[in-house]
Amino acid sequence: MSNPAIIPFLDLITPHVELEHALTEVFHNALRSAGFVGGPMVEEFEKAFATFCDASCAVAVSSGTDALRFALMACGVKPGDVVVTVPHTFIATTEAISQAGALPEFVDIDERTYNMDPEKLRNYLEKQCTIDPSGRLISHRSGRPVTAVVPVHLYGQAANMDPILDLADRYGIFVIEDACQAHGAEYFSQKQGRWLKAGSIGKAAAFSFYPGKNLGACGEAGAATTNDQQIAARIKILRDHGQEKKYYHNIEGYNGRLDAIQAGLLQVKLAHLGDWNTLRRKRAADYNRLFANSDQSLTLPHEPSWSRAVYHLYVVRTDDREGMMAHLKNTGIGTGIHYPIPLHLQKAYSSLEYRCGDFPVCEKIAQQILSLPMFPQLTAEQQARVAEESLWFLKDPIISQKRTTDHSTALLS
């Protein structure tokens, strides 16, 4: 029995229990056909997911990290190249860049959307790079050619793509979307005069189906999307040991294929993704209403008019983040920090020789961000309690300490 006093950060059990019959059917079918890797279940899911993203092709792979690595390689990123991205993302973004043989370099984020700031990208391309006699764009930092930019659609909200695409065009570099948190997110392109789906905007895009994502497998999975058949064909070869035909290897590739069972499970869940995203948007609007009178102490998510976010996470900011997190924990409410340490300050990237102060917006918000419980099945009562406890803490951290003690006693009794 789950304790009603506990509000989890994420509930992965309810949606699977609700779909248990259809999900186990996938497993039974796989046992009877013994088609475990690739095959028709994978192809059907690829078609359905491409349609969902308004992209012409989707290639299913074993993780979001592989999707991004293969997308970069298939688009032509070469060992020794520089790929520009943001320091405020999950490390898989830069791992994929490094695994493609390239070097990650960073530009800071926008303080309101937490995504790549096109002005910072412009500044990087104009001031921190030069075009060499052969026409290549060379980074001053590393002396290496810059060939791609990876905007991340963080927390389920698209990055501001029009100016990023414009700049990339002007400097002859290509754009790969990290859409690993943004299944179904939409961006209004002023230039095209229409809404575009995440995964259909850049030259290619990467999605993750890690269990906690808006669309999650029951294990590891991912997909790359693109409108370019040739790029899709290259990604297919990369995921399957470099072979176009069994035992005819064009290149040395990887084992990055998707299990048929995971594809089947994803196909079942994909039918619900639209509704789940709608519920997430409702939950976000409800939080916004509940927090409407929290004065200046709480910064709510900002959704620009050109964005329809799918709220993979609902992230607020406050000065006493640690205090608020501890208070919520003590009252049985789960939270998270996405992410506490900017990538340029991680030990793993000390060799890049970035310093504290290099990306002030990202460094500042990393101290303040807090992700509140967010999942489609979150109830109005649960949200009301999250809001009540948060507002109580923000009004009076001292009183809330006493109340927490009382409440914990109540939880125990």
Ligand X SMILES: *Cc1c(COP(=O)(O)O)cnc(C)c1O
Between CA 359 and CA 129 the distance in angstroms is 17
Out of 103, 107, 152, 165, the only residue in the binding site for ligand X (CB under 6 A) is 152
Q: Which stretch binds ligand X (CB under 6 A): 63-71, 78-86, 363-371, 388-396?
A: 63-71
CB of 23 or CB of 68, closer to ligand X: 68
CB of 86 or CB of 129, closer to ligand X: 86
In the complex, the smallest distance separating the C-beta of residue 176 from ligand X, rounded to whole angstroms, is 11
User: What is the per-residue binding string for ligand X in 175-204, x denoting contact by CB under 6 A?
Assistant: ---x-xx-----------------------
Between CA 186 and CA 198 the distance in angstroms is 6
CB of 200 or CB of 400, closer to ligand X: 200
In the complex, the smallest distance separating the C-beta of residue 10 from ligand X, rounded to whole angstroms, is 13
Q: Which residue has the tokens 């040739």?
A: 230
Which tokens is 82 given?
A: 């520089």
Q: Please return the burial class of 297, using the count of CB atoms within 10 Å of its CB with bins 0-12, 13-18 and 19+.
A: middle
- Phi/psi for 170 (5° steps) reads -60, -35
- Rounded to 5°, the CA angle 249-255-261 comes to 125
Spatial contact of 45 and 217, defined as CB atoms under 8 Å apart: no
User: What is the per-residue binding string for ligand X in 199-228, x denoting contact by CB under 6 A?
Assistant: ---------x-x-----------x------
CB of 95 or CB of 303, closer to ligand X: 95
Spatial contact of 228 and 209, defined as CB atoms under 8 Å apart: no
Number of residues that bind ligand X (CB under 6 A): 14
Q: Is 391 in the site for ligand X (CB under 6 A)?
A: no
Q: Which stretch binds ligand X (CB under 6 A): 21-29, 58-66, 134-142, 258-266?
A: 58-66
The closest alpha carbon to 352, from 97, 90, 75, belongs to: 97
CB of 223 or CB of 387, closer to ligand X: 223
Cα→Cα distances 281→278, 309, 325, 391, Å: 5, 7, 23, 21
CB of 63 or CB of 227, closer to ligand X: 63
Q: Which stretch binds ligand X (CB under 6 A): 34-42, 87-95, 384-392, 405-413?
A: 87-95
CB atoms inside a 10 Å sphere around CB 294: 17
Question: Largest Cα–Cα distance of the chain, in whole Å?
Answer: 75
In the complex, the smallest distance separating the C-beta of residue 84 from ligand X, rounded to whole angstroms, is 15
Which residue lies nearest ligand X, judged by its C-beta? Answer: 64
Q: Alpha helices of 77-159 — where are they, by DSSP H?
A: 92-99, 118-127
- Residues lying near ligand X in the complex (CB under 6 A) are found at 63-65, 89-90, 92-93, 152, 178, 180-181, 208, 210, 222
